[in-house]
Every structure is written in structure tokens, then in C-alpha cells.
């Protein structure tokens, strides 16, 4: 591609973003595909663009033939484009904060046709804010909180309900493996559907589901390289290379390398994700992809807390590392995906995906605790540079081999005089895992101080070889959903899903420090579950959608690793699945000539048979006697207020949340875990994120954002609260040429020290201030 042609292409790619000469609705009503963009670039001021959207039936090859003899002079020939934009439907994930379509609801759907709250973080939002770590993306999502797990795995909460350390995070609609630290280098966008979603995804939490959408090859040669330097010795390089290899085929390679000292909390990452796609836009479309991410770093999950007037007082600096140089948190994810799309006549589509992968985690970390200060017990009033810090070992190793097959069908029919949008599918997975969740090894007597946080001490790995507990799980699911048009404005959504789950444990023999031996034992369980979903949509115009919906979800007792039995008798075999339900009423609007999308919803989420230990036989069984609920509202806005001013905002307000029933007894001192009548832990009343950018001139753009969360209790510590907080981020971007730009990001501008992830007895601090400079080149 010539330099002139690249320059014209770049101008067209940024035309929608800069929006200096045309209204937004002109761009979004007929998106500029890459070929259309080049044609428009070559004919600015002399001709109009003719573009045909991707047909549902098999398309004819794209043509670059000239005009017919009878064609009027100056008129472009009609061009049929067989590929659609790699991004989300009618919006370009690279150039806008607004999304109008999603695949999180099984099959591509308009957001207005989904009767639940959906938040979409586009690639542009992630690049604007330098959200390289997947957890940072979740931190910009309203309603999301984090429990700091004892072995470094963050337990994500949504609307106060656990997404679990595994199970409710997906990749391209398929369950993503647990154990590894995720990166966004291959993400086109991240989608979050809130509320019960078992009809679509099977087993899962009440809070919702998170779906990562991978970048896909498209029919154009286009490449992008980003190089970032930052404080804490940060160095990051990403490459996104797309090659058109034939008339209907393309190859795309995304790669990433990262290295940072992080003031002692070192981390190195390497990722690569090649994908080849062929038959694009034809009746039979195929793709084969590979993904590998290797992360080697250190865990800093454990900071001890002081309590003053019932509030956590963070003390240790967030940017310091207080563990050993030998601490490690190494994870890997390696998987391959095969995909086939068959397009029927009259618009039907059958998408089948197969994936097999391995996920690994090796953690050897330090539990940080205060010792003495100048020979006296440490308190909030006397701690200082001479305060002694002890470091106890915490370890975990695990491997998971996950195999999945799923097939989803969608089509529209006219039956009985009414239009029906049918979605149906079947999915299977098999998870073969082994874990040692207590692989700590002997304690070290080495200490450090607050004033000398990391004296570069090393402990020898004397843990030996791990003894694993093994867990095998399989699931078969089948679902069907119909969206029926009752009138031109009224649609009924109804669906149901059936799942058959099987799980088995093989627990290794253990020997306690006092020599007591617990023998090996095994058990298995299986369950069959039904998950309904029903909703009503009222759409008086193409810019308005109102809905009411009801959905259910469940969590099987034997499917979560944290419920591994602790003794041969405590098998959970008598405990059925927890069940939950979600009722939601909301509306979605496109305003300002469809430049800006708004949404709001009122929700009531309830887990009505939560697990509790049986006070009469706590050693051998659990009861489904607990109950909790959350009542609140969601608010969303994404798009352009003016052609130069963009905004993304999402907010969750939960004024009412309560543990309605529990067997937990109130501690004599009034502390301990939450009891009946308490507000559940990790459920702040307000949480959210806002990001806004303004283009002052064609080459200069600035951005400002905030993440905020009101006060909350750690789960298991009812008398303790973490203060609310607000952190601010800023960005300035300068486009040096049409193909090169320089961007400066500052996160946590005020260097706010706050408790982010919480656990009973300790917390993980939020990220400190970081300054990053990114150079981007397109070619």
C-alpha cells in the first residue's frame, strides 16, 4: 500500500472520531468498512460512497471492476463487501466509546433487544485509559468489587454476588479457564451482562457474566504497533498485524511483551494470538486460532490493616513490595480454537466452536503482618519506619485442562403471522483439574521493616513436589429462546435451558504438623437443572426500548474449587445447587441524532437458598437455608455529546441489600461474619466509572476520568468498613501525522492510597500513581 493510500485510509478511520464535518448518525447508520473507507478517501468532494452491508446469505466476491459504459461520469460503481467490520456491528470498536451490538446474549444482537443491563468496554476505551490488565477493565465497571483471596486469586463480585474464581468469565461466548492472569492485548471489547444469565450460559452466579471478545481477521492489510514506557520501569510493546491473504481470507497476529519492576513487584508477560480466517462472508466460513499468554511476576495481595473507629486505615505504600525476592506468581494460558459458521438461505446462521486449552498457576507468596515497633506491640499510633514486618508463606499450584464444544443457531421466521427470532444451541465441556491449595512450605524467620520494605532477601524453595487433589467436571447444556413480535412495537422474549452436570473429587492423603494422617477419599455428584428466562420489550421507535425481564441462575455445590471437602464425611453430596433470580425493569435510548446511547434499569436480585452450615451437624453437611437480596439501579451512557466530545459512564446504586436468612451467629464482641439483617459484604451503595474526552483541534485530544466506590464491609468482618474513594485519571494525545500519535496517561492522579480488594484480616491496596507514554504507529 502506497504512503498516499495509507494516509487517505488513516484519515477515513479517524473521520468518525474527529467528526468535524459530518453528523454522527450519518456514520453510524451505514458504517465505513475498510474497502468503503478507501473508496471514500479517493473520491472526497467528487462522489458519494456506495456500500452494501454484509449479506446474511452467501455473498458474491468483492469487485473492483470499473463502471459500465452507461454509467454516469463521476459515479462510483456499486461495490459488494463480503466482510463486515471486525468490530461490533455498526460501530467501530477502535474509534468510538459507544457500542450498539453485542454477542454476549448468544449470537449477535442489538443491545436494545436484550432485556437486561449490558455494559460494553470498547477497544478505544481500553486504549484511551491504558487498561492493559483485565482486572483494570473490571474496575471501570459499575457494581464490580473484589475479594482478596488468600492465595492471590481475586474473587470478583457483581452487584454483591460472586462471579467466583472460575465459571462466569468467558472468551468469545465460551467458558474461559481459571487460574491465569488475563491481559487485554487480544481483546476487541469486553462485555458485561448483569443479572441472572443461566438460560444463556448455564451454571453461574446471580450477578452476571463477563465476555471477552477476541480480535478477528478482516479483508484488508492493516497494522498497528504500540510502544509504552512508564514509571516503575514499565515497558510494553503490542503489535496488531492483519493481512488479507486472498479474496475471502485473512490472517491476523496480535502479540504483546511487557516488563516492569513495579517498585519490587516485578512482572513479565508475553502473549501471542494468531488467527487465520477463510471463506469470509461466504456460506461456509472457517477460522483457526491459537492463544498463549505467559505471565511471571509476584503477588502483593496481603497488606495488614489497622482499624480506627471501625474503618480500615491503609498504611503501607501501594508501590512498595514487602515480600521476598523469591516470591512468585506465574501463570500460563495456552489454547486453540476452531470455528465454523454456516449461513443458511434467508438469513439463518449456525456457529460451531471447539476449544481445547491448558491453564496453569504457581504461587509462592508472602503473607505480610506487622511485628513490633521498637520492641513494643505495633499499633496505629506507634507504627513507623522501624516497625517490623514478618512474612509467612502461602502457596498454591494448579493445572486445568479444559475442552469445550458448542454450537449456536439463530434465524428469523414468520410463523402464524408473527415474526420470531429463534436462538438455540447446545454446549459441552470437560474440565480435568488438579490443585494443591496449601503448598506453602516451611516458614522463614527473615524479617524486614516498613522503612526497608524489600531488602532483597531470598528463601530457598523447599516445598518439594506438590500432592494434588484432582477434580473432573463435565456439563451438557441445551437451550432455546424465541423473541416473538406481538405487534410492531411489542416483543415477547421466552427461553429455557437444561443442564446436566457431573463432578468428581479425588482427594489426596494429608499429614498434619502433629502427625495426624487424613486418608485419601473420593466422591462424585451429578445434577440436572432447568433455567428459564422471560421478558417483554416495548419499542415505540428505533431510538427507544423499554423492557421487563425475569431470569434465574444456579451454582452447583460440587463445581467450585473452594467447596472441596475438608474431611471424608463433609462431602457436600447432600447439598443441591444454590438458586437465584433476577427481576429487572429498564429502558434504553439513542439520543442526539443517535450519537449517544443511554440506559437505566431497576433490578432486584435474590439468592433464595444460599448455603449455610447445619448447626446440628456442621461437620457433615450444609443447608440451603440462607437468603440474601440486592435492590438497586443501573445507569449507562456512551457516545458523543458533540462531534468533538465523547463520554462513557456507568453507575450502580444499591440502596437496599440485606442478608435475609442465615445460620451465622453473632459474635460475643459484635464482630465476626455478617449475620441475618446485615448488609452483605463487598456491596457498596454506589460504584461506577466515568471517562470523557474532548478534541480541541484535529491533532490534539485530552481525556479525564474517575473511578469511585462508596464504603463497604469485607465479607466475614461485619464490624469493619473500608472507606469510599475516588481516583482520577488523565490523558493527552497528539497526532503527529495521519499514522503516528503520542499519548500521555496518568492514572490515580492524586496517588490516593485506598483499600481496594478486601478480605477478613487484610486488604490489597489500589494501584499507585503511574505515568505512561505511548507511541502508536499505523502502517
What's the rounded mean pLDDT across residues 492-506? 93
Instruction: Please report whether residue 755 resides in a domain.
Output: yes
Q: How far is CA 389 from the centre of its chain?
A: 35
Do residues 339 and 286 lie in contact, with contact meaning Cβ atoms separated by under 8 Å? Answer: yes
Which string of DSSP letters, residue by residue, matches 555-570? E-TTSSGGG--SSSS-
CB atoms within 10 A of CB 42: 15
- pLDDT given at position 164: 60
Is the pLDDT confidence value at 15 over 60? no
Residue 700, domain member (yes or no): yes
Model pLDDT, residue 483: 96
Please give the residue that has the higher pLDDT: either 25 or 722: 722
Q: Which of 267-281, 349-363, 500-514, 560-574 has the lowest mean pLDDT?
A: 560-574
The alpha carbon torsion through 47, 48, 49, 55 (nearest 10 deg) reads -130
pLDDT of residue 67: 39
Domain presence at residue 76? no
Alpha carbons within 13 angstroms on the beta-carbon side of residue 270 total 2
Q: What would the mean pLDDT of 482-490 be, rounded to a whole number?
A: 96
pLDDT score recorded for residue 609: 86
Of 123-132, 373-382, 435-444, the range with the lowest mean pLDDT is: 435-444
Task: Encode pLDDT of 27-37 as tens digits.
Answer: 333 333 333 33
The rounded Cα 328 to chain-centroid distance in angstroms is 24
Residue 129 lies in a domain: no
Mean pLDDT score across all residues of the chain: 86
CB atoms inside a 10 Å sphere around CB 267: 18
Q: Which three cell numbers stand for residue 249?
A: 481470507
CATH number at residue 364: 2.40.170.20
Contact by Cβ (8 Å): 563, 164: no
Q: What digits encode the pLDDT tens for the residues 284-343?
A: 999 999 999 999 999 887 899 999 999 999 999 999 999 999 999 999 999 999 999 999
**HEC-encoded secondary structure of 651-688:** EEEEEEEEEEECCCCCCCCCCCCCCCCCCCCCCCCEEE
In a domain, 158, yes or no: no
Compute the chain's Rg from CA coordinates.
Answer: 27
The reported pLDDT for the residue numbered 400 is 94
| Cell numbers for 193 | 451482562
pLDDT score recorded for residue 482:
97
Closest C-alpha to 712, from 674, 665, 666, 752: 674
Q: How confident is the model at residue 55 (pLDDT cuts 50, 70, 90)?
A: very low
CA distance 681 to 239: 41
- Alpha helix segments (H runs only) across 345-455: none
Domain that holds residue 498: 211-778
| Residue range 724-767, pLDDT digits in tens | 999 999 999 999 999 999 999 999 999 999 999 998 889 999 99
Nearest in space to 181 (alpha carbons), one of 335, 258, 289, 293:
293
3-state secondary structure (DSSP) of residue 611:
strand
Does residue 179 sit within a domain?
A: no
Question: Would you say residue 45 has pLDDT above 70?
Answer: no
Give the pLDDT band of residue 56 (cuts 50, 70, 90).
very low
The predicted pLDDT at position 568 comes to 52
From residue 416, alpha-carbon distances to 99, 413, 420, 485, 492 in Å are 34, 10, 10, 11, 15
Given a cut of 80, whether residue 149 has pLDDT beyond it is no
Q: What is the pLDDT of residue 582?
A: 95
Pairwise CA distance, residues 174 & 492, whole Å: 26
How high is the pLDDT of residue 76?
56
pLDDT of residue 574: 59
Question: Does 82 map to a domain?
Answer: no
* Separation of alpha carbons 605 and 611, rounded Å: 17
Q: At what angle do helices 34-42 and 3-13 cross, to 10 degrees?
A: 110
The whole-number pLDDT of residue 41 equals 38
| List of residues 6+ apart from 149 with CB closer than 8 A | 155, 165, 301, 759
What's the helix, strand, coil split of the chain in %, to 5?
5, 55, 40
Confidence (pLDDT) at 586: 98
Q: Is 299 helix (H, G, I), strand (E, B) or coil?
A: coil
Q: How confident is the model at residue 166 (pLDDT cuts 50, 70, 90)?
A: low
pLDDT at 2: 47
pLDDT at 472 exceeding the cut of 60: yes
* Rounded Cα gap, residues 705 and 709, in angstroms: 14
Which H/E stretch holds residue 756?
A: strand 755-759
Which strand (E) or helix (H) includes residue 636?
strand 622-642
d(CA 144, CA 686): 10
Q: Of 703 and 673, which is predicted with more confidence? A: 703
Using CA atoms, how far apart are residues 133 and 29, in angstroms rounded to an integer?
33
Domain count, the chain: 1
Q: Can you list the alpha helix ranges (DSSP code H) found in 217-265?
A: none
Assess if residue 628 is contained within a domain: yes
Amino acid at each position: 500500500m502506497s504512503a498516499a493510500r495509507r494516509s487517505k485510509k488513516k484519515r477515513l478511520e479517524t473521520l468518525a472520531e474527529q467528526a468535524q464535518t459530518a453528523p454522527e448518525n450519518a456514520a453510524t447508520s451505514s458504517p465505513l468498512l475498510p474497502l468503503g473507507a478507501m473508496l471514500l478517501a479517493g473520491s472526497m468532494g467528487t462522489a458519494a460512497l456506495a456500500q452494501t452491508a454484509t449479506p446474511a446469505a452467501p455473498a458474491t466476491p468483492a469487485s473492483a471492476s470499473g463502471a459500465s459504459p452507461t454509467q454516469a461520469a463521476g459515479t462510483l460503481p456499486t461495490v459488494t463487501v463480503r466482510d463486515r467490520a471486525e468490530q461490533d456491528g455498526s460501530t467501530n470498536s477502535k474509534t468510538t466509546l459507544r457500542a450498539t451490538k453485542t454477542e454476549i446474549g448468544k449470537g449477535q444482537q442489538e443491545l436494545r433487544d436484550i432485556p437486561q443491563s449490558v455494559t460494553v468496554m470498547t477497544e478505544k476505551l481500553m486504549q484511551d485509559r491504558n487498561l492493559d490488565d483485565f482486572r483494570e477493565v473490571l474496575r471501570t465497571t459499575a457494581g464490580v468489587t473484589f475479594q482478596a483471596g488468600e492465595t492471590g486469586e481475586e474473587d470478583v463480585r457483581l452487584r454483591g454476588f460472586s462471579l467466583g474464581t472460575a465459571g462466569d468469565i468467558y472468551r468469545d461466548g465460551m467458558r474461559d479457564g481459571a487460574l491465569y492472569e488475563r491481559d487485554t492485548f487480544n481483546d476487541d471489547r469486553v462485555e458485561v451482562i448483569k443479572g441472572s444469565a443461566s438460560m444463556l450460559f448455564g451454571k453461574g452466579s446471580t450477578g452476571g457474566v463477563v465476555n471477552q471478545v477476541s480480535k478477528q481477521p478482516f479483508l484488508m492489510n492493516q497494522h498497528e504497533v504500540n510502544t509504552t514506557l512508564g514509571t516503575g520501569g514499565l515497558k510494553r510493546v503490542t503489535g496488531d498485524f492483519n493481512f488479507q491473504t486472498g479474496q475471502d481470507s485473512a490472517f491476523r497476529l496480535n502479540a504483546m511483551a511487557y516488563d516492569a519492576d513495579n517498585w519490587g513487584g516485578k512482572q513479565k508477560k508475553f502473549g501471542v494470538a494468531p488467527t487465520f480466517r477463510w471463506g469470509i462472508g461466504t456460506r461456509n466460513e472457517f477460522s483457526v486460532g491459537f492463544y498463549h499468554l505467559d505471565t511471571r511476576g509476584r503477588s502483593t495481595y496481603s497488606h495488614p490493616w489497622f482499624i480506627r473507629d471501625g474503618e480500615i486505615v491503609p498504611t503501607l505504600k501501594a508501590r512498595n513490595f514487602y515480600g521476598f525476592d523469591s516470591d512468585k506468581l506465574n501463570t500460563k494460558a495456552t489454547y486453540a480454537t476452531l470455528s465454523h459458521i454456516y449461513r443458511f438461505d434467508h438469513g439463518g446462521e449456525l456457529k460451531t466452536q471447539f476449544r481445547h486449552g491448558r491453564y496453569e498457576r504457581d504461587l509462592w507468596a508472602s503473607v505480610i503482618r506487622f511485628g513490633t515497633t521498637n520492641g513494643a506491640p505495633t499499633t496505629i499510633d506507634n507504627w513507623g519506619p522501624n516497625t517490623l514486618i514478618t512474612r509467612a508463606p502461602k502457596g498454591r499450584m494448579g493445572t486445568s485442562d479444559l475442552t469445550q464444544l458448542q454450537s449456536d443457531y439463530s434465524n428469523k421466521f414468520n410463523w402464524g403471522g408473527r415474526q420470531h427470532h429463534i436462538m438455540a444451541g447446545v454446549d459441552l465441556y470437560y474440565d480435568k483439574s488438579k490443585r494443591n491449595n496449601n503448598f506453602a512450605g516451611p516458614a522463614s524467620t527473615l524479617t524486614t521493616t516498613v522503612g526497608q520494605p524489600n531488602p532483597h532477601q531470598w528463601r530457598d524453595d523447599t516445598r518439594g513436589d506438590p500432592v494434588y487433589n484432582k477434580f473432573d467436571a463435565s456439563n451438557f447444556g441445551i437451550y432455546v429462546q424465541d423473541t416473538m413480535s406481538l405487534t410492531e412495537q411489542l416483543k415477547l422474549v421466552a427461553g429455557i435451558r437444561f443442564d446436566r452436570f457431573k463432578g468428581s473429587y479425588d482427594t489426596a492423603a494429608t499429614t498434619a504438623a502433629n502427625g495426624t494422617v487424613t486418608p485419601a477419599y473420593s466422591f462424585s455428584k451429578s445434577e440436572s437443572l432447568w433455567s428459564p428466562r422471560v421478558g417483554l420489550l416495548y419499542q415505540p421507535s428505533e431510538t427507544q426500548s423499554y423492557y421487563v425481564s425475569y431470569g434465574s441462575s444456579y451454582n452447583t455445590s460440587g463445581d467450585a474449587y473452594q467447596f472441596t471437602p475438608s474431611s471424608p464425611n463433609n462431602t457436600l453430596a447432600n447439598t443441591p445447587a444454590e438458586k437465584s433470580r433476577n427481576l429487572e425493569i429498564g429502558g434504553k435510548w439513542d439520543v442526539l441524532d443517535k450519537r449517544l446511547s443511554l440506559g437505566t434499569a431497576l433490578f432486584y436480585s435474590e439468592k433464595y437458598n444460599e448455603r449455610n452450615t447445619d448447626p446440628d451437624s456442621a461437620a457433615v453437611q450444609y443447608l440451603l437455608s440462607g437468603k440474601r437480596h440486592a435492590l438497586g439501579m443501573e445507569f449507562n451512557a456512551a457516545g458523543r455529546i458533540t462531534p468533538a466530545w465523547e463520554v462513557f459512564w456507568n453507575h450502580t446504586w444499591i440502596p437496599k441489600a440485606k442478608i435475609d436468612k442465615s445460620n451465622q451467629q453473632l459474635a460475643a464482641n459484635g464482630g465476626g461474619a455478617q449475620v441475618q439483617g446485615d448488609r452483605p459484604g463487598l456491596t457498596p451503595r454506589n460504584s461506577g466509572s466515568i471517562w470523557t474526552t474532548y478534541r480541541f483541534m484535529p491533532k490534539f485530544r485530552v481525556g479525564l476520568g474517575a473511578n469511585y466506590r462508596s464504603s463497604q464491609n469485607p465479607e466475614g468482618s461485619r464490624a469493619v468498613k473500608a472507606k469510599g474513594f475516588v481516583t482520577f485519571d488523565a490523558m493527552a494525545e497528539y497526532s503527529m501525522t495521519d499514522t503516528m500519535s503520542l499519548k500521555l496517561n496518568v492514572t490515580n492522579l492524586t496517588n490516593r492510597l485506598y483499600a481496594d480488594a478486601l478480605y477478613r484480616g487484610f486488604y490489597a491496596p489500589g494501584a499507585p500513581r503511574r505515568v505512561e507514554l505511548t507511541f502508536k504507529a499505523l502502517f
